[in-house]
DNA sequence: GCCAACGTTGGC
DNA sequence: GCCAACGTTGGC
């Protein structure tokens, strides 16, 4: 899961411990939250638009997707007039803080790791804010954290 | 700040 | 259903 640290960082999650991953306004990303993410699933927390960008820690899905109420609030920056209480358009899971890495695993480092070449994040033109990670990719990144 | 790549919208 | 125009993302 990507987030710009200037808007919500791993440190913010560490402070809060839990947060609803609201504000996602992309159907593919929403569908991942609704269909693919289950309570207990581990999540890589990625800082985008950062110096440098990269994986900064681990969270865990603590509640399955529920309607994103920020879409209903006209004063929210995430307001979407097409979403209604009866027919919610956007959903969000809740995530729980697990771990902050001692140092960031930068995008550059990820690209250097041969076992990650197929990772969605590293493919050309991938902008999705929520992406699938395979078990072996996840393990490979954890190993990089130990170096 | 630039810009490539992609997603969404809306006219037709 | 096509596609041009526009908006957004995010690395650099």
Residue A144, phi then psi, degrees to nearest 5: -65, -30
Q: What pLDDT, on the 0 to 100 scale, is given for residue A75?
A: 86
CB of residue A115 closer than 7 A to nucleic acid strand B?
no
3-state SS assignment for residue A31: helix
Strand B: list positions under 7 Å from protein Cβ: 5-9
CB of residue A136 closer than 7 A to nucleic acid strand B?
no
Q: What is the mean pLDDT of residues A50-54?
A: 94
Residues 6+ apart with CB under 8 A from A106: A52, A53, A54
CB of residue A2 closer than 7 A to nucleic acid strand C?
yes
Q: Between A145 and A1, whose confidence is greater?
A: A1
Q: What is the mean pLDDT of residues A9-15?
A: 97
pTM, to two decimals? 0.94
Share the mean pLDDT of chain A.
Answer: 94
3-state SS assignment for residue A129: coil
Residues 6+ apart with CB under 8 A from A89: A71, A80, A82, A83
Res A147 pLDDT > 80: no
CB of residue A127 closer than 7 A to nucleic acid strand B?
yes
3-state SS assignment for residue A45: strand
Res A33 pLDDT > 90: yes
Cβ-contact A93, A33 below 8 angstroms: yes
Q: What Å value separates CA A139 and C1' B7?
A: 31
A63-111 pLDDT, tens digit each:
999 999 999 998 888 999 889 888 899 999 999 999 999 999 999 999 9
Q: Where are the alpha helices (DSSP H) in A44-118?
A: 107-112
Q: What pLDDT, on the 0 to 100 scale, is given for residue A125?
A: 85
Strand C: list positions under 7 Å from protein Cβ: 8-12
């Amino acid at each position: 899961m990507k987030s710009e640290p200037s808007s919500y960082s791993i440190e913010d999650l560490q402070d809060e411990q839990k947060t609803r991953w609201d504000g996602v306004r992309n159907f593919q990303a929403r569908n991942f939250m609704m269909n693919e993410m289950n309570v207990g699933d581990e999540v890589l927390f990625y800082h985008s638009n950062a110096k440098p960008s990269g994986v900064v820690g681990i969270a865990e899905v603590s509640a399955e997707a529920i309607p994103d109420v920020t879409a209903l609030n006209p004063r929210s920056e995430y307001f979407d007039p097409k979403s209604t209480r009866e027919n919610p358009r956007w959903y969000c899971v809740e995530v729980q803080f697990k771990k902050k890495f001692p140092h960031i695993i930068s995008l550059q480092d990820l690209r250097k790791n041969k076992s990650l070449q197929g990772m969605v994040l590293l493919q050309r033109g991938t902008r999705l804010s929520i992406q699938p990670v395979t078990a072996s990719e996840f393990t490979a990144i954890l190993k990089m954290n130990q170096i």
